[in-house]
Amino acid sequence: MQTRVLLADDHKLMRAGLRMVIDSQDDLTVVGEADDGRAAVSLAAELKPAVIVMDIAMPSLNGIEACRQIREAHPEIEIVMLSMHSDEGYILRALKAGAKAYLLKDSAEADLTRAIHAVGAGKSFFSPAVGKVLLEDYMRKLERSGVEDSYELLSPREREILQLAAEGKSSKDIANLLHLSVYTVETHRANLMQKLNLKGIPEMILYAVRKGIIS
């Protein structure tokens, strides 16, 4: 069965490029194109695609806002965010709005199909350049402030759980995978979140990307 993809970008050239990349894959098919955020929201409701490839900067309703609305109405639709910016402000907000993948437009061609496949399988995906920028920011901050990397504070089990959770697995999945009780997994999760001073899953995913734990 083919994965149905909706394209949302206000630039025709860009959409054409994306379509060609997707059409070249046998298991992917483009079911529609939207040229702004509002059209994306209504087409998502109408066409029920599995994945939406969405540009962040669009007129009338930007990609992040459109993503939030679509995810609220249709949690089963996964979203791959396209952006020109490898900045954590964008990434964190995209994650908070419910996007699972974040691609830089410069490298969209190379990574697009991998990203669509990843989110289709319930995983996260980030352009390699994104992780690099985030890590650089993180390391510089640590170096300048002289603070220890809080990752060193985590136990091996906590690191394991961090990776699985950041990949998008639920506590129940993790418990099954590691042969632990759900309660134990929840406790580890709470501890590691506190040690890393993270609030919510988007921040955790961002942290994981920054540390290169997931990509």
Partner 1 sequence: MTTQANPSVKAPSSKVRWLFLGVSISLLTMLGVSGIFAARYLDRLHEQEQNASHLLGQRAQALSGLWLSIQNYNQAVEKFIAETNISERPVTRDQLDRLAVEIAANISGYPRARDPMEAALLAELQGVFSQQRTLYVAVVSAQPGNRLKAEQALANQTEQILAWSSKLQAWNGDRIQRADERMRLEFEGLQAGLTKTLAIGISAGLLLVLAGMAYILRLERQTDRRYTELAESRLQLQQLSASLVDAQENERRSISRELHDEVGQSLGALLMDLGRLSTEQPELRERLEPIKAVTERTVDAVRNISLLLRPSMLDDLGLVAALEWQGREVSRHSNIEVEVKSENVPDDLPDEYRVCVYRLVQEALNNAVRHSGARNAVVEVRQSSGTIQVQVEDDGKGFDPHRTRGLGLLGMEERVKRLGGQLEITSGPGVSIKATLPLPPPHGVEG
CB-side exposure of 116: number of CA atoms within 13 Å? 28
β-strands 125-126, 28-34: how paired? unpaired
At residue 202, what is the residue type?
Answer: P
Give the Cα separation of 8 and 22 in Å (integer).
13
> How many Å is the maximal CA-CA distance in the chain?
53
Q: Specify the residue, 140 or 172, whose C-beta has the smaller distance to partner 1.
A: 140
If one asks whether residue 21 binds partner 1 (CB under 8 A), the answer comes out as yes
Decide: is 88 part of the binding site for partner 1 (CB under 8 A): yes
What pairs with residue 28 in β-bridges? 3
Q: Does 22 bind partner 1 (CB under 8 A)?
A: no
Q: Which of residues 108-147 bind partner 1 (CB under 8 A)?
A: 108-110, 136-137, 140-141, 144-145
Give the residue with the Cβ less far from partner 1, 11 or 117: 11
> Does residue 57 belong to the site contacting partner 1 (CB under 8 A)?
yes
The answer to the question of residue 199 lying near partner 1 (CB under 8 A) is no
Nearest to 72 by CA among 34, 101, 44, 33: 44
Q: Does 85 bind partner 1 (CB under 8 A)?
A: yes
Tokens of 136: 């650089």
Among 15-23, 119-127, 162-170, 199-207, which window interacts with partner 1 (CB under 8 A)? 15-23
Spatial CB neighbours of 143, under 8 Å, sequence gap ≥ 6: none
Which residues of this chain interact with partner 1, rule CB under 8 A?
10-11, 13-14, 16-18, 20-21, 24, 56-57, 62, 64, 84-85, 87-90, 93, 105-106, 108-110, 136-137, 140-141, 144-145
